[in-house]
Amino acid sequence: MTMNQQIHLVSRPDGEARADNFKLLEAEVPELKDGQVLVRHHFMSLDPYMRGRMNDAKSYAVPQPLNAVMQGGTVGEVVASKNPGYAVGDKVVGFGGWQQFSVVDANTPGVLRKVDTTHIPLSAYLGAVGMPGVTAWYGLTQICKPAAGKTIAVSAASGAVGSAVGQLAKARGCRAVGIAGGKDKCDYVVNELGFDACIDYKAHTDPKSLYEAIKAATPDGVDGYFENVGGAVLDAVLPRMNAFGRIALCGMISGYDGEPIPLKQPQLLLTNRLMLQGFIVSEHMEFWPEALKELGTMVATGKLKYRESVAQGLAAAPEAFLGLLKGRNFGKQVVKLV
């Protein structure tokens, strides 16, 4: 009998999420039925969207159930199989949640995908060659529509999504401008990822100062903006948008605690004839093969760089997640389980 450690959501946050919203439990791993496989998770993903699902509110996804395993992406290894399509030792990506093991009906389309770790590390399939990478690829290519010589700006530029946006934009001949929190993150974005500029929003707490810093970094204005943050950052970028500019609205982490996020100058959407489109990458599965092919090739050849913050052990997940919401992570936040 195999014991499985799990983290459940046991209460819904009132404002900021707290460690006591979660609880570490043990459960027995059930016997496999025909068609099922047992996956031992090596890494699990922590992502900002999880905060929104902790609320019992209407959103693009159903709320995370209480007293159940926190949901989320995982990568691991098949350790037992009653499915002819999967063998013990196969490396797989799935949605196993915050736990050490998951039992998966591998006949269900889309729940499990075999991956090759010859040239791409297993954990990268949760980041640069996974959902965050595809999110960056889709928002940039399908909404921002980059073209050589254009300026692409992105907030949370050192994170899993933002870092890929800038590098994909550079590969298409664009000027890439990042916005991130802290000198270390901005130095990384420019010196290691190859962005043309990065604005440290923590050094510009005054709205006018932040706007002036963005203006200096975007002398030709902004043609495409990839938004992960909202709030004061969006307010500072909007006046720099060129006519007919395009905004991919991916995340609004400044409002994940439930507070309203007023927009100071919504009239700019009209006067500059801007196109602003929110998107959820899981609704565009037809683009995943093309995106993953480009992302995987770039990672394997060293042309797409990424960084990970690695928390050790399942018990560390809640604090690592709360830190992610505060911007304490550097790059993609994962939890190492093996």
Number of Cβ within a 10 Å radius of residue 285: 10
pLDDT of residue 257: 74
Examine the domain organization and report whether 53 and 118 are in the same domain. Answer: yes
253 pLDDT tier (thresholds 50, 70, 90): confident
pLDDT of residue 118: 96
The tokens describing 105, both together, are 């009906």
CATH of the domain at 153: 3.40.50.720
Nearest CA among 224, 225, 199 for reference residue 211: 199
Percent of the chain with pLDDT over 90: 93
Number of Cβ within a 10 Å radius of residue 230: 18
Stretch 314-329: mean pLDDT: 95
Question: Alpha-carbon distance 165 to 134, whole Å?
Answer: 10
The tokens describing 240, both together, are 């720099």
230 near 254, Cβ under 8 Å? yes
Question: Alpha-carbon distance 123 to 130, whole Å?
Answer: 9
23 within some domain: yes
Question: Alpha-carbon distance 305 to 288, whole Å?
Answer: 20
314 within some domain: yes
- Assess whether pLDDT exceeds 90 at residue 24: yes
pLDDT of residue 304: 98
173 within some domain: yes
Examine the domain organization and report whether 60 and 139 are in the same domain. Answer: no
Examine the domain organization and report whether 135 and 259 are in the same domain. Answer: yes
Question: Alpha-carbon distance 237 to 254, whole Å?
Answer: 15
More confident site: 288 or 1: 288
Total domains, the chain: 2
CATH of the domain at 51: 3.90.180.10
Which residue do the tokens 């060293």 mark?
302
Taking the whole predicted model, whether its pTM rises above 0.75 is answered as yes
Examine the domain organization and report whether 157 and 266 are in the same domain. Answer: yes
81 near 38, Cβ under 8 Å? yes
- Assess whether pLDDT exceeds 90 at residue 258: no
- Assess whether pLDDT exceeds 80 at residue 37: yes
Examine the domain organization and report whether 85 and 164 are in the same domain. Answer: no
34 within some domain: yes
Question: Alpha-carbon distance 187 to 193, whole Å?
Answer: 9
288 within some domain: no
- Assess whether pLDDT exceeds 90 at residue 186: yes
Examine the domain organization and report whether 255 and 326 are in the same domain. Answer: no
74 pLDDT tier (thresholds 50, 70, 90): very high
- Assess whether pLDDT exceeds 80 at residue 317: yes
Domain stops at, among 265, 282, 299: 282
Which residue do the tokens 């959501």 mark?
9
pLDDT of residue 1: 73
268 within some domain: yes
291 within some domain: no
Examine the domain organization and report whether 331 and 261 are in the same domain. Answer: no
13 near 55, Cβ under 8 Å? yes
42 near 337, Cβ under 8 Å? yes
- Assess whether pLDDT exceeds 80 at residue 61: no
Task: Write out the residue range of the structural domain in which residue 213 sits.
Answer: 131-282
Percent of the chain with pLDDT over 70: 100
Nearest CA among 75, 74, 51, 76 for reference residue 61: 51
Examine the domain organization and report whether 135 and 270 are in the same domain. Answer: yes
296 within some domain: no
pLDDT of residue 194: 98
255 pLDDT tier (thresholds 50, 70, 90): confident
User: How much of the chain is helix, strand and coil, in % rounded to 5?
Assistant: 35, 25, 40
Stretch 96-119: mean pLDDT: 96
Mean pLDDT rounded to a whole number for the chain: 96
Examine the domain organization and report whether 248 and 195 are in the same domain. Answer: yes
pLDDT of residue 259: 80
Examine the domain organization and report whether 151 and 278 are in the same domain. Answer: yes
pLDDT of residue 59: 75
Stretch 128-133: mean pLDDT: 97
Examine the domain organization and report whether 136 and 38 are in the same domain. Answer: no
Examine the domain organization and report whether 123 and 163 are in the same domain. Answer: no
